[in-house]
Amino acid sequence: MTLSGIRQLCLSLVWIFPAVHASLAWSQQAGDTSRPKAVPATRDEMKGALDRLKSRQPRLPLPPPTPEEEEQAKQNTAARGLGGGLVNNARMRNRYLPEELRGAGFSRDPDPVMQLKAPFITELFWIASRVNNCHYCLGHQETKLAADGLTEDQVAALDGDWSDQSPARQAAFAFTRKLTYEPHRITDSDVATLAQHYPGLQPVEIVYLVARYNATNRWTDSLGIPQEGHRDYLTPTAAAIQKRPSGVAPLPAAKVSAVAVDAPRPALEPRGEVERRLSEARTRQPRFPLLSEAEARQMKSDLPAGPLPAYIRLLAHFPKTGVGAIQSQLNLEQFGKVSPLLKARIAWVAARHDHAWYALDHARAQLRALKQTDDQIFALDTLGGDLSEGDKLALQLTRKLTVTPQWITDDDIAGLRKVFPDAEVAEIVYRITQAAQFNRLTEAAGLPCDSPLPG
């Protein structure tokens, strides 16, 4: 057996034993929305979970679709796979988010520089969704993969050990899983392995797409968005794989706390270590090429005056998707009903728990601009200081949704709704999801910190 095969076998064994526990717990948790939903351990369990999501009560009110919308969705699905007539994710965004925040930088227009296409990128989305236990996104990717001609066995193989996949696909799948579950552990070697199989800017595409998928997972799942009722997931499964435990999904610990999290993140570094790491990150070399400021401004002429942040010079490689993502990030900082201080606090807490140094530096610059001292900033690590009840609840959710999106419960959102209007609850969730994207993008790219140093 090759070294790669041994590694995949070991990874599979790591997850088989927790899978047995999760399978036993499935019948206890299914339908009990007061607890985190179980991670389906097998293909059949997953299909059942996807189908049950059709009757899920969303955590923010979402009016049911009209019969006309349902019928139009069925026609669109038959013609185009996922269909454009009825998508509850978009309905939730449009109902609660300010117009400036609804797009999340997403454009259906093809980017002329991006080279990766479906079904490959859909498979990456499927893997990220499986890791994050996002049943809504999993269902959509299943629908799209079927529309692209993948067989049931080919889709099921995504949940295996990948040893029979090509080296290039193994590299992309493993990178997707790692960036999703353990973003703080991405190394130069991981990026170099991707570059061996994907030339040019394709590794940047993979990083950007997987980061975006992680944001979408956290939005749709934390708000309990129900699956559209016209989709069909209860298809036959080959007998050989019906009960095979997942080799991809991390299965939860037996005991879950609503506040404290148990997940693959190291403890938060002490303040002195944070200062050292931020200082080192100012001089690190990015893992991907950055455009010059002049080149970036040619791609997007209305960029703010002054030195351009490194994330803009990275994303500007892509004239449609990247420029849209830049505008989305700028809008995130400029618009919305949530207070500027809570916006920056969410960014700090999310970056701390993802151990994302560029994003952390970016958040600290925002907090300092709001007259927060470093003592006040670092007090956020323990949710201390002058936090209101609402801000403390929002930051508790930030920590939990950043690290363990699989464990969000009805109570997490219901608690916020007691303090904030529903539109602000949705915006708080959205900001946490976008932080997950920004953290993964900027840290996997190894961007050097570039915020102005205090005078």
pLDDT in tens, 391-422: 999 999 999 999 999 999 999 999 999 999 99
Look at phi and psi of residue 355 and say left if phi exceeds 0, alpha if psi is from -120 to 50, else beta. Answer: left
Indicate if 412 and 344 belong to the same structural domain: yes
**Structure confidence at residue 263 (pLDDT):** 56
Give domain status of residue 257, yes or no: no
Residue 143 has pLDDT above 70, yes or no: yes
Q: By mean pLDDT, which of 104-108, 254-258, 402-406, 448-452 is the weakest?
A: 254-258
The pTM of this model reads: 0.89
The SS3 call for residue 181 is helix
**Structure confidence at residue 265 (pLDDT):** 84
Confidence grade of residue 372 (pLDDT, cut at 50, 70, 90):
very high
Token code pair at residue 389: 């009840």
Token code pair at residue 443: 């840290």
* pLDDT, average across residues 351-359: 98
Token code pair at residue 121: 């990128």
Residue 105 has pLDDT above 70, yes or no: no
Angle, alpha carbons 369-372-375 (nearest 5°) = 140
Indicate if 199 and 240 belong to the same structural domain: yes
Give domain status of residue 275, yes or no: yes
**Structure confidence at residue 16 (pLDDT):** 28
Token code pair at residue 283: 């001089």
Residue 14 has pLDDT above 90, yes or no: no
Q: Answer with the residue of higher pLDDT: 311 or 455.
A: 311
Place of tokens 């800017």: 201
Total domain count, the chain: 2
Q: Count CB atoms within 10 A of the CB of residue 90.
A: 12
Residue 271 has pLDDT above 60, yes or no: yes
User: How far, in Å, CA of 197 to CA of 179, rounded?
Assistant: 17
Residue 133 has pLDDT above 80, yes or no: yes
* pLDDT, average across residues 76-104: 78
**Residue 443 backbone phi and psi in degrees, to 5:** -80, -40
Answer with the one of 201, 216, 251 that is the final residue of a domain. 251
Q: What stretches of 223-335 show up as alpha helix (H) in DSSP?
A: 271-281, 293-299, 310-315, 321-334
Indicate if 372 and 228 belong to the same structural domain: no
Residue 344 has pLDDT above 60, yes or no: yes
Indicate if 19 and 127 belong to the same structural domain: yes
Give domain status of residue 46, yes or no: yes
Answer with the one of 187, 221, 251 that is the final residue of a domain. 251
Indicate if 147 and 18 belong to the same structural domain: yes
Give strand ranges (E) for 128-234. none
**Structure confidence at residue 381 (pLDDT):** 98
* pLDDT, average across residues 344-350: 98
* pLDDT, average across residues 64-91: 70
Range(s) of the domain holding residue 150: 14-31+40-55+118-251
Residue 196 has pLDDT above 70, yes or no: yes
Contact between 136 and 221 (Cβ < 8 Å): yes
Contact between 224 and 410 (Cβ < 8 Å): yes
DSSP string over 372-403: --HHHHHHGGGT-SS--HHHHHHHHHHHHHHH
Confidence grade of residue 99 (pLDDT, cut at 50, 70, 90):
very high
Indicate if 293 and 244 belong to the same structural domain: no
Give domain status of residue 108, yes or no: no
Indicate if 244 and 328 belong to the same structural domain: no
**Structure confidence at residue 43 (pLDDT):** 95
User: How far, in Å, CA of 325 to CA of 330, rounded?
Assistant: 9
Indicate if 236 and 281 belong to the same structural domain: no
Indicate if 429 and 287 belong to the same structural domain: yes
Give domain status of residue 227, yes or no: yes
* pLDDT, average across residues 192-202: 98
Residues 6 or more apart from 364 whose CB is under 8 A from it?
Answer: 278, 348, 374, 377, 451
Q: By mean pLDDT, which of 171-180, 243-252, 360-369, 419-428 is the weakest?
A: 243-252
Indicate if 241 and 276 belong to the same structural domain: no
Contact between 304 and 331 (Cβ < 8 Å): no
Contact between 122 and 171 (Cβ < 8 Å): no
**Structure confidence at residue 103 (pLDDT):** 77
Instruction: Please give the share of the chain, as a percent, with pLDDT higher than 90.
Output: 77
Indicate if 229 and 334 belong to the same structural domain: no
User: How far, in Å, CA of 18 to CA of 252, rounded?
Assistant: 8
User: How far, in Å, CA of 266 to CA of 264, rounded?
Assistant: 7
Q: From the CA atom positions of the chain, what is the Rg in Å?
A: 21
For residue 87, how far is the Cα from the chain centroid? Answer: 19
* pLDDT, average across residues 281-291: 98
Give domain status of residue 2, yes or no: no
User: How far, in Å, CA of 369 to CA of 344, rounded?
Assistant: 10
Torsion sign across C-alpha atoms 21, 215, 261, 444: positive
Look at phi and psi of residue 224 and say left if phi exceeds 0, alpha if psi is from -120 to 50, else beta. Answer: left
Token code pair at residue 92: 């939730």
Give domain status of residue 202, yes or no: yes
Residue 11 has pLDDT above 80, yes or no: no
Angle, alpha carbons 403-409-411 (nearest 5°) = 120
Residue 12 has pLDDT above 90, yes or no: no
Q: What is the mean pLDDT of the chain?
A: 88
* Residue 243 DSSP label: T
Give domain status of residue 113, yes or no: no
3-state helix, strand, coil in the chain (%, to 5): 60, 0, 40
Indicate if 325 and 218 belong to the same structural domain: no
**Structure confidence at residue 82 (pLDDT):** 58
pLDDT tens digits, residue range 242-254?
888 999 998 654 4
pLDDT tens digits, residue range 35-66?
888 899 999 999 999 999 999 999 999 988 77
Q: Which of 172, 88, 94, 84 is nearest to 127 (CA)?
A: 172
**Which CATH number covers residue 404?**
1.20.1290.10
